[in-house]
């Protein structure tokens, strides 16, 4: 059984949820088992989902916590062998399910910033009851141990993988049309994210603040910000205040093909965040052989090899960010070399097949563990 916050919308947590569900549904089929996936925030009803060659279904409960919990308790009555919660905030649900059946094993996935501070009751105690807690980076794993009080033997590290759709499209590249508003000329600095007031840690404002310095040496540079959210008006005002509104482009509501075209036509990808538990967007840029710039914090350091596949910069350090951008824009050969090394790094460590293999091993370990 799988418990999900949301699966059908865009976003990193949602994508990880789809990946986990794809692997778990195949794993169940190989064992001759059935599965049931419940999603709190997706629309009401049963929805088909496809990830690569895997197809599965998920039941949405349209943000109704009462219906979601009731459904989980009904599934508990059917004596599941394994319950997977794909966010620490869902841990209390499997804890409640223990009142109906105490025999199942449990896995909880953590992502990053949500476990940087001790979780209050009931989330913290419930999380500590899990048989295994999985984090995508060394930083997240360390926070699970130090902040959540989980013993090291009950924590595992599993890097997220590149989405199979990206892998398939890159294997058979097609000429994708650039979205309306993408610059028609110049060298492009690309960033992709959700511009929400609660996620200002992503550093879009630092990118905008660094742009005036970058333009002194790269006069044809543009900053393209893909994404939307409640913080977008503030970012637009900031671009106007520092005098770079004509050199910034805010794009939203892009189709997947349009996003592919943005990656393919940028010179540098940058997201100088201090709060990434991992950073799937870095993988997407690396898949297009682009050099990447990220914050020297959190799980980003597990993804970007500083000075090899890109640069790591302190969050909020406008000067360091500007220098890193200038160095890549001024030396296209070096930028291409970093991008090529990033693509090779991705293929070695972050393919979906590697994610599938490692998660399957963890599922085997939990189900076959003796207590």
Q: What is the pLDDT along the chain (371 residues), one digit of tens a residue?
A: 999 999 999 889 999 999 999 999 999 999 999 999 999 999 999 999 999 999 999 999 999 999 999 999 999 999 999 999 999 999 999 999 998 888 899 999 999 999 999 999 999 999 999 999 999 999 999 999 999 999 999 999 999 999 998 888 777 766 778 999 999 999 999 999 999 999 999 999 999 999 999 999 999 999 999 999 999 999 999 999 999 999 999 999 999 889 999 999 999 999 999 989 999 999 999 999 999 999 999 999 999 999 999 999 999 999 999 999 999 999 999 999 999 999 999 999 999 999 999 999 999 999 986 54
Domain ranges of the chain: 2-161+352-368, 169-349
Rg (CA), the chain: 21
| CA distances to 41, 57, 193, 242, 312 from 274, in Å | 27, 35, 13, 23, 11
Q: Is the pTM of this model over 0.85?
A: yes
Antiparallel, parallel or unpaired: β 268-271 and 248-251: unpaired
CB distance 36 to 2 below 8 Å:
yes
| CB-based contact 181:223 (threshold 8 Å) | no
Cα separation, 89 vs 85, in Å, equals: 9
Examine domains 2-161+352-368 and 169-349 and report if their fold is the same.
Answer: yes
| Omega cis (within 30) before 58 | no
Q: Quick one: fold of 2-161+352-368?
A: Rossmann fold (3.40.50)
Contact criterion met (CB below 8 Å) for 208 and 239: yes
Which residues does 159 contact at the CB level (< 8 Å), separation at least 6?
136, 137, 278, 302, 349, 350, 354, 355, 358
Q: Residues 76, 101: contact at Cβ < 8 Å? A: yes
d(CA 26, CA 31): 9
Domain 169-349, second-level architecture: 3-Layer(aba) Sandwich (3.40)
Neighbour count for residue 253 (Cβ, 10 Å): 9
């Amino acid at each position: 059984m799988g418990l999900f916050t949301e699966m059908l919308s865009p976003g990193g947590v949602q994508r990880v949820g789809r990946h986990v569900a794809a692997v778990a549904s195949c794993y169940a089929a190989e064992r001759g088992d059935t599965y049931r996936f419940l999603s709190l925030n997706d629309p009401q009803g049963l929805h088909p989902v496809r990830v690569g060659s895997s197809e599965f279904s998920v039941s949405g409960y349209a943000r109704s916590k009462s219906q979601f919990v009731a459904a989980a308790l009904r599934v508990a009555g059917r004596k599941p062998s394994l319950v997977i919660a794909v966010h620490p905030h869902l841990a209390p649900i499997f804890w409640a399910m223990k009142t109906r059946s105490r025999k199942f094993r449990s896995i909880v996935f953590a992502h990053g910033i949500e476990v940087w501070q001790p979780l209050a009751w009931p989330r913290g105690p419930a999380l500590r009851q899990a048989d295994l807690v999985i984090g995508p980076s060394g930083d997240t794993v360390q926070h699970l141990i130090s902040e959540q009080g989980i013993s090291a033997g009950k924590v595992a590290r599993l890097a997220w993988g590149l989405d199979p759709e990206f892998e398939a499209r890159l294997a058979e590249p097609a000429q994708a049309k650039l979205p309306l508003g993408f610059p028609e000329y110049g060298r492009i600095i690309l960033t992709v994210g959700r511009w929400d007031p609660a996620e200002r840690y992503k550093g879009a404002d630092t990118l905008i603040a660094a742009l005036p310095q970058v333009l002194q040496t790269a006069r044809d540079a543009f900053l393209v910000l893909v994404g939307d959210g409640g913080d977008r008006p503030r970012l637009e005002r900031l671009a106007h205040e520092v005098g770079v509104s004509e050199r910034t482009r805010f794009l939203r509501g892009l189709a997947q093909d349009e996003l592919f075209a943005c990656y393919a036509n940028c010179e540098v990808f940058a997201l100088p965040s201090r709060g990434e538990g991992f950073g799937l967007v870095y993988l997407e840029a690396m898949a297009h052989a682009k050099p990447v710039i990220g914050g020297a914090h959190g799980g980003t350091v597990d993804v970007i090899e500083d000075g090899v596949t890109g640069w790591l910069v302190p969050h909020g350090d406008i000067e360091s960010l500007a220098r890193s951008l200038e160095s890549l824009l001024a030396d296209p050969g070096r930028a291409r070399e970093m991008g090529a090394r990033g693509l090779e790094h991705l293929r070695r460590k972050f393919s979906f097949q590697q994610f599938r293999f490692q998660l399957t091993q963890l599922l085997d370990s939990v189900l076959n563990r003796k207590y």
